[in-house]
Chain A
Amino acid sequence: MTTGAAKVSRRGLLGGGIGVGAVAGVAGAFVAGRGTADEDAAAAVVSSYAFRGERQAGIVTPAQDRLHFVALDVTTEDRDELIGLLQQWTEAAERMTQGGSAGPVGPVRGATDVPPDDTGEAIGLPASRLTITFGFGPTLFRTTDGKDRFGIADQRPEALEPLPHFRGDIDDPARSGGDICIQACADDPQVAVHAIRNLVRMGFGVTAVRWSQLGFGRTSTTSTSQSTPRNLFGFKDGTANVKAEEAQALAEHVWVGKDDDQASGWLTGGSYLVTRRINMTIEVWDRQPLGDQEQFVGRTKDAGAPLSGGDEFTDPDFELPGRSGPIIPTDAHVRIVHPDQNDGARMLRRGYNFVDGSDDIGGLNAGLFFIAYVRDPRTHFIPVQRQMASSDALMEYLKFTGSALFAVPPGVAAGEYVGQGLFG
């Protein structure tokens, strides 16, 4: 559902169509030549998404083009302070997703002798289809040294365990885990950054930033109305994603069911969020012959068709023999992570490309910030990642530099705050 201008518009624009048009210009180079600008424009007719609803926005919402993701640690042991912050965040998120300000007053209307309750960089910008999605990490329920700070340890979902170390993971605690996460997605990076910056600011004294990640160029489609974008390997990514229109598949693979976990009914209708920061060794990849690249991925670079033929959305034929072995190689990415090879497990992927400048030796510090929403990480993520780590041809060009798991509560009803089912 959409709303028009918010009550308190920080931006002096009614509706967001104009702004979205401007964003399409930013992505223009990317869209050019795909002949699908129309589809993207169709998704862009919507100018804002409601914050409240049955589910949190930002999961099946058609993936926006920009991301700012933050993981926070809770620094207080006071349950009421934490609840107070969740209430404050809920109100702020509701305002900002409708194009309003972070605080109730706004960037320029307050007293001149105090700092404004909104930082101001979004003045004049439309809602830009901003969504703000909250999740809770395992350490919120029990710290690594076993402490139950907020009296919620007995409600920790069984599946909410820190992800194990997988082969090829470069474990960096400073880039992994977190008590709480906030995912802000928008069509305008300034809007996404504004949201996270202001939410983090509200949290000082209760939360502190553990790590954060900026992303651009969504690498997945979450709606059939969207065309498939490309990751930094230059290949289409997310062709076989679970889509918003597949209600049955969402119920089966994405939403936590009411009987999934007796101890944590508060998570029913929610989901689990896996994040993995995947660095690509870009320079080495770029030296691979085209034919090899296609063999590693199992799809053509041009159309994204499986090597067994057809077009992008043709099902791969893993049995089809080629000259030496199957035509889709046994270690091709598309085969390794395919539901057929993983007990039917599917994920709703919502990742983004990232470029964080250059690394120590002048290479691009770049890759894919992988985000997946799944019903149960133990069945829908860990086995697939393990399979990938042990036999995927792409592993040669990847380094996993961050890893986290969060439980994402269901949507926020009128009069509620996010996570109320857990704390209320």
Chain B
Amino acid sequence: MRKTLLASLATLAVVPALAACTENASPDSESGDARTLAVASTKDACDVSAKTAPAGTISFDVSNTGSDVTEFYLLAEDGLRIVGEVENIGPSLTKTLTVTVPEGEYVTACKPGMVGEGIRADFKVTSSDEKVTVSADEAELIEQATNNYRAYVQDQTSQLLVKTKEFVELYKAGDSDDEARALYPVAREHWERIETVAESFGDLDPKMDAREADVDFAAGEKWTGWHAIEKDLWPARAEKYAAWTPEERATYADDLLANTVELDKRVQATGTGALEYPLDAIANGSRGLLEEVATGKVTGEEEFWSRTDLWDFQANVDGARIAFEGVQPVLETKNAELAEQLTTRFTELNELLDGHRKGDGFVYYDELTKDDVDQLAAAVNTLSEPLSHLTAAVVS
């Protein structure tokens, strides 16, 4: 997934300010074609193949026959509110805008060169047997989702900071390695829950969460962060490993803490430096966390030395679930069936993970049988497939 959460204003504009919820969206062959329009955007024209379409899900296939990058917008009657848009259409390329719209007056606009108010024309959506109702409180639901998710991320990084401080003290002390080992997966849970946000800081992520294979030693890169310390605490699987001196321990520990302080600072920032959490980014984050599970945790590659992959696994799933639940009220108004399916599948995956709990945590990865791993992998796929449709559904 795209690792960016820092939304530009343009991204924010993608979130429609009004919900359009389709009922009985049975494909109606008669008007099906009437809902598929071709748009030719040239240097000085914006030819839409029809000036009207029946209410429902309408597609605009926008071809750029000019020589500049173009964009296409469907605007509300006031010419201000963006109902849907498609950006970055290079010369001689085609992109499609699919948008669900109720009956009413609209404005189409092509923007060759991406500047100005574009080449506009009136567009009419006529009544049809597809009932498209508008819920006026979607803006409120979106704002709520954004605020809740921001609060969640901020809470997790501040907890991460507290536990990282505690962890580096134990690790530096040199005589409390058992306590350090016990705290390691517990502290990392806070990182893993918001991993997609943490990863969006391209400068911090490689310093804090790189695995040994991710480091280009030949190019002079240094391996730092959680996993380097992990290897020092659990050297059993390492070959010819020389344990770090107390000085080296201090260096790596202080570096990790300094980066954690910086991460927390950026997440807590307000004003101009504040992170934005547009709806699509939250939904994408949910999907991204499950991807992390599929590519690293379920295979036991993330915590190669400590074998504490299941803590990370659970934390990724927690983060994905929180993000999903944040956008769930919006999803309910658009695709209740998907919302229900995702709820069920999150529950099933969590029940499966519960079976591997031990004490306050989990069993180690190498205590899982092949069958256990297969079941977990299948449950991840089962959840990931519908989750890959979440973003499109909530911003539709």
- Using CB atoms and an 8 Å cutoff, list the residues of chain A in contact with chain B: 164-171, 281, 283-284, 287-289, 292, 295, 300, 305-311, 320-324, 327, 360-363, 386, 389-390, 393, 396
19 contacting pairs across A/B (C-beta < 8 A): A165-B218, A284-B294, A284-B295, A287-B287, A288-B1, A289-B391, A305-B90, A307-B88, A308-B69, A308-B91, A309-B90, A310-B91, A310-B92, A320-B90, A322-B114, A323-B10, A323-B87, A324-B10, A396-B295
Verify B87–A322 contact, CB threshold 8 A: yes
B290-309 vs A, Cβ < 8 Å mask (1 yes, 0 no): 01001100110000000000
Interface size on B, residues (CB 8 A): 41
Verify B88–A284 contact, CB threshold 8 A: no
> Would you call B182 an interface residue if the criterion is a C-beta within 8 Å of the partner chain's C-beta atoms?
no
Verify A307–B214 contact, CB threshold 8 A: no
Our pick among B11, B216, B373, B387 for the contact of A390 (Cβ within 8 Å) is: B216
In angstroms, Cα B345 to Cα A311, docked, is 42
Verify A283–B8 contact, CB threshold 8 A: no
> Would you call B219 an interface residue if the criterion is a C-beta within 8 Å of the partner chain's C-beta atoms?
yes
> Would you call B213 an interface residue if the criterion is a C-beta within 8 Å of the partner chain's C-beta atoms?
yes
Greatest chain B CB density within 10 A among A167, A288, A308, A389 is at A167
Interface segment, one of B140-148, B166-174, B226-234, B377-385: B377-385
Verify B93–A309 contact, CB threshold 8 A: yes
In angstroms, Cα B294 to Cα A284, docked, is 7
Of residues 219 through 265 on chain B, the ones whose CB sits less than 8 Å from some CB of chain A are 219, 221
Q: A165-B216, A287-B384, A310-B92 known; A323 and B2 CB under 8 Å?
A: no
> Would you call B215 an interface residue if the criterion is a C-beta within 8 Å of the partner chain's C-beta atoms?
yes
Of residues 83 through 139 on chain B, the ones whose CB sits less than 8 Å from some CB of chain A are 87-88, 90-93, 114
In angstroms, Cα B89 to Cα A138, docked, is 48
What are the 9 tightest A-B residue pairs by CB atom distance, in nearest-first order? A309-B90, A309-B91, A164-B218, A287-B388, A361-B377, A322-B88, A323-B87, A167-B216, A324-B8
Our pick among B10, B213, B378 for the contact of A171 (Cβ within 8 Å) is: B213
Closest chain A CB from B125 CB (angstroms): 25
Verify A308–B90 contact, CB threshold 8 A: yes
CB-CB nearest in chain B for A308: B90
Verify B88–A323 contact, CB threshold 8 A: yes
Verify B214–A362 contact, CB threshold 8 A: no
Closest chain B CB from A278 CB (angstroms): 14
Verify A320–B374 contact, CB threshold 8 A: no
- Using CB atoms and an 8 Å cutoff, list the residues of chain B in contact with chain A: 1-2, 8, 10-11, 64, 69, 71, 87-88, 90-93, 114, 213-219, 221, 287, 291, 294-295, 298-299, 370, 373-374, 377-378, 381, 384-385, 387-388, 391-392
- For B10, the chain A residues whose CB sits under 8 A away are 323-324
- For B221, the chain A residues whose CB sits under 8 A away are 167
Q: A283-B294, A361-B374 known; A309 and B216 CB under 8 Å?
A: no
In angstroms, Cα B88 to Cα A295, docked, is 11
In addition to A327-B90, A360-B373, 5 A-B residue pairs with Cβ atoms within 8 Å of each other are A164-B216, A165-B218, A170-B213, A284-B291, A361-B377
B-side interface mostly: helix
Our pick among B2, B90, B217, B291 for the contact of A295 (Cβ within 8 Å) is: B2
Our pick among B2, B214, B295 for the contact of A167 (Cβ within 8 Å) is: B214
Our pick among B114, B213, B287 for the contact of A323 (Cβ within 8 Å) is: B114
CB-CB nearest in chain B for A391: B202
In angstroms, Cα B292 to Cα A281, docked, is 11
- For B373, the chain A residues whose CB sits under 8 A away are 360-361
Q: A169-B213, A323-B10, A386-B216 known; A311 and B92 CB under 8 Å?
A: yes
Our pick among B219, B378, B384 for the contact of A386 (Cβ within 8 Å) is: B219
Closest chain A CB from B129 CB (angstroms): 30
In angstroms, Cα B374 to Cα A287, docked, is 20
Closest chain A CB from B365 CB (angstroms): 13
- For B214, the chain A residues whose CB sits under 8 A away are 167-168
Verify B295–A292 contact, CB threshold 8 A: no
- For B291, the chain A residues whose CB sits under 8 A away are 284, 287, 396
- For B378, the chain A residues whose CB sits under 8 A away are 362
Q: A322-B87, A324-B11, A360-B370 known; A166 and B216 CB under 8 Å?
A: yes
Verify B93–A307 contact, CB threshold 8 A: yes
CB-CB nearest in chain B for A303: B93
Verify A281–B294 contact, CB threshold 8 A: yes
Q: A283-B381, A284-B294 known; A327 and B69 CB under 8 Å?
A: yes
Verify A323–B71 contact, CB threshold 8 A: yes
- For B91, the chain A residues whose CB sits under 8 A away are 308-310
- For B90, the chain A residues whose CB sits under 8 A away are 305-310, 320, 327
Our pick among A166, A281, A310, A390 for the contact of B295 (Cβ within 8 Å) is: A281
- For A281, the chain B residues whose CB sits under 8 A away are 294-295
In angstroms, Cα B93 to Cα A300, docked, is 8
Verify B385–A287 contact, CB threshold 8 A: yes
- For A361, the chain B residues whose CB sits under 8 A away are 298-299, 373-374, 377
CB-CB nearest in chain A for B298: A361
- For A386, the chain B residues whose CB sits under 8 A away are 216, 219
In angstroms, Cα B223 to Cα A167, docked, is 11
- For B287, the chain A residues whose CB sits under 8 A away are 287
Verify B88–A289 contact, CB threshold 8 A: no
